[in-house]
Amino acid sequence: MLTEEERRRGAEQILRAEREGKPVAQLSRTFPQMEIEDAYRVQDLWAQARIATGARVVGHKIGLTSRAMQMASKMTEPDYGRILDDALYNDGAQIPASRFIKPRLEVELAFIMGEDLSGPGARIYDVMRATEFVMPALEIIDYRTDVPRTIVDTIADNAAFGAIVVGGRVVRPMDVDIRWVGATLSKNGIIEESGVSAAVMGHPAAGIAWLVNKLSVVGAKLLKGQIVLAGSFTRPVDITARDVITADYGPIGAISVSFT
């Protein structure tokens, strides 16, 4: 376990990596005694610093929702981070690749909360009832520390969140079968990945129920109007400047962005 001062130093290192556009050493190496509780506290301190300079929390992201990613990170459950308003893009955006260190892109669904939702004991049907809309989304993930990383490195680094892109059709959660939303991910006209949303814990709302219950432990909850990224159902694809990305979700539309 770390001291509060060590946690603060960890958050300052993540902030420095963002400012300078260069990864810092893994926090798990700088602070070998770091535990998961410490990592979430580092994330809290990082978020507080970003909010103090004008950013606003508009939602949450969930990571490590697939069994393969959990095994790779030696983690038995997902993790979560914050979505900030200065990292929110719309379909058709031209995004500067230089704002990231080593960006990769994933295909997800975004849930827009229609009412507050708190735990403990939240289940899939509670999430579906509290969700106003579901829409296609892309998550840009980024590493602000060196690799390889342990789970505490990822959590402290805001669960590797870089940015979110939303687009396509806005649908009500009961109007489509949320488990069977399929998508292809193309880079520069070539399909690189494809997947179906049931790959996210069997149902994308399952991860959000998990998040609600985890937030309740620290006295937090999901708020009406917040965006929640439910987790990727494709492998991440590397992106660089001049790449054009299109994610086609079939009946619920598509998202296209370019990187400058």
pTM, 2 dp: 0.95
| Mean pLDDT in residue range 108-131 | 98
Note the pLDDT tens digit of each residue in 210-219: 999 999 999 9
User: In whole angstroms, what is the distance from residue 179 CA to residue 161 CA?
Assistant: 24
What's the pLDDT score for residue 65? Answer: 80
pLDDT > 90 in the chain, percent: 94
What does the angle CA 215 – CA 143 – CA 233 come to, to the nearest 5 degrees? 65
CATH ID of 4-259, from 3.90.850.10, 3.40.50.300, 1.10.340.30, 3.40.640.10: 3.90.850.10
What's the pLDDT score for residue 127? Answer: 98
Per-residue pLDDT band at 70 (split at 50, 70, 90): low
pLDDT at 160 over 60: yes
| CA 196 to each of CA 101, 124, 181, 202: distance values in angstroms, whole numbers, following the listed order | 28, 18, 6, 10
Note the pLDDT tens digit of each residue in 34-56: 999 999 999 999 999 999 999 99
Instruction: Find, among 66, 71, 79, 61, the residue nearest to 198 by Cα.
Output: 66
What residue ranges do the domains of the chain occupy? 4-259
Instruction: Find, among 202, 215, 102, 108, the residue nearest to 162 by Cα.
Output: 102
| The pair of three-digit structure tokens given for residue 155, joined into one six-digit string | 């959590």
What's the pLDDT score for residue 69? Answer: 61
Paired with 136 in beta bridges are 109
